[in-house]
Amino acid sequence: MDQYTHHRERLLTSSRPMPDFEVVGTQGPWLHRAGGTRIFDGSSGLLCTNVGQSSPKVYDRLKKQFFRYSFGGAAVVQPHIQTELMDRLCRAVGRPDDFVALTTCGTLGVEIAIGLARNITRVRDGKQRGDILTSTLSYHGMSALTLALAGNHARRPRHENALDLGPAYPAPYAPTHAHEGRGCDASCADEIAKEIDRRGAENTAAVLIEPVNGTTGGAFVPPDGYLQRVSKICRERNVLVIHDEVLTGLWRTGKPLASHHWDGCKPDMVILSKGLGAGYTAVGAVLVSPETAPWICHEDADPLPAMGTMATHPLMAAACLGVLDELEALDHAALRARGERLGQAMKSLNGVGPVQAVRGLGFLYGLEVTPGKLWPVMEAAEQRGVFFYPFTGAGEPRSEGLVVAPPLISTDEDINFLITALTDALEAV
């Protein structure tokens, strides 16, 4: 036991079992272990190292900015690099005229979006609208407010600590939404209409929704037509739509935004984080549509929500520009094809060993396994040279499984390796 292992229990971090290896170097989607072997990162770290590790493009951007100036908040130094980032990011996700707030993580992005939504609707209507509606299978961050609002059962605060808040509508997925004789479809969005009407649209600022479910549940994809219907219901009631794309944004699902898989569900705001920093920097970004943003600049508007000392950190912006350099240099046709091949392979694993269900799209899949088999599968996969992030999900008893979400820069050979190692591991368990 070295001096650091000895002190491990004093570091207050995840209580999940850790993979049992030490990393001494990285390259792209691979981690080099002490002892000379390497292991493939099957879940992009915490669903964030989308362009792999040790990127020369990110390094070049960081180095240049480091020697130019390494700190300069927006109130101190002209935010040129942040403006450059804003333009590049907005164009990359097909929302070229959006206004952008930068901050330091996904949670704060959600908090800022909530603050902006309340401000916008109050100025627009001349009356306070406070409520933010979330689903029973949502996760929106780790602050007191976002934990209290969201549905993630594992992280819900005790009733007395939940600020009188909680999820407001069932997520449109079978384990969380009971129907007689049929599965979920677009009409499940009507639950949102009912809830807004019950509270009164005049009290509701926004619906906050993950367009594709992340790790609370494991990559559930909404029924076709669902997100369009949510947008229509909200538009009819003057309620804003906020898409939490912290996990799904920037090509994780095979397109720049997960909402791009369906026409007609463009949200008023989008929150990005994991894929933008790609593990190189802490960042959150809130994109606000040009139709909505002018209310923020109105003379009756409150001051902008505080975004933090580090919100416009130039090294953060430089790293994000490097990540966008990487993402835009990808062969997007090949990326789509590779995502489809990965999806077919994952879906063919349904029923293999302990696998009970498979879902997802692009580079994001959830493989649900028989309860009790998750850790044996994780261990068997690790022995075969690949590791994954676990999820605990929906339903009763709670489902559990693996998130398969390799870095987007993975080659065909890398994806073949992942598929073979995972198939072997599942067959062995």
Ligand X SMILES: Cc1ncc(COP(=O)(O)O)c(C=O)c1O
Write out the residues near ligand X by the rule CB under 6 A.
Answer: 105-107, 110, 139-142, 210, 214, 244, 246-247, 273
Q: Which is nearer to ligand X, 367 or 419 (CB)?
A: 367
Q: Which residues of 397-422 are buried (b: 16+ CB within 10 A; e: fewer)?
A: eebbbbbbbbbbbbeeebbebbbebb
Distance of CA 241 to the CA centre of its chain: 17
Q: Which is nearer to ligand X, 106 or 322 (CB)?
A: 106
Nearest alpha carbon to residue 271 among 79, 177, 140, 375: 140
Shortest Å distance, C-beta 304 to ligand X: 20
Shortest Å distance, C-beta 5 to ligand X: 26
Q: Which is nearer to ligand X, 16 or 68 (CB)?
A: 16
Nearest alpha carbon to residue 357 among 383, 312, 380, 391: 391
Shortest Å distance, C-beta 150 to ligand X: 8
**Cβ atoms 87, 313 nearer than 8 A:** no
Shortest Å distance, C-beta 284 to ligand X: 7
* Token duo for residue 172: 């449109």
Q: How far apart are CA 412 and CA 403, in angstroms?
A: 19
Q: Which is nearer to ligand X, 217 or 353 (CB)?
A: 217
**Cβ atoms 398, 289 nearer than 8 A:** no
Q: Which is nearer to ligand X, 52 or 106 (CB)?
A: 106
**Cβ atoms 22, 33 nearer than 8 A:** yes
Q: Which is nearer to ligand X, 135 or 380 (CB)?
A: 135
Q: Which is nearer to ligand X, 253 or 295 (CB)?
A: 253
Q: Which is nearer to ligand X, 387 or 391 (CB)?
A: 391
Nearest alpha carbon to residue 220 among 190, 260, 177: 177
What residue is closest to ligand X based on CB?
106
CA-CA-CA-CA torsion sign (101, 106, 110, 111): negative
Shortest Å distance, C-beta 68 to ligand X: 27
Q: Which is nearer to ligand X, 210 or 368 (CB)?
A: 210
3-class secondary-structure state, position 375: helix
Q: Which is nearer to ligand X, 105 or 380 (CB)?
A: 105
Q: How far apart are CA 379 and CA 426, in angstroms?
A: 10
- By the 10 Å C-beta count (0-12 exposed, 13-18 middle, 19+ buried), 112 is classed as buried
Q: Which residues of 40-59 are buried (b: 16+ CB within 10 A; e: fewer)?
A: bbbbbbebbbbbbbebebbe
Q: How far apart are CA 268 and CA 149, in angstroms?
A: 20
Number of helices (H), then strands (E), belonging to the chain: the values are 13, 14
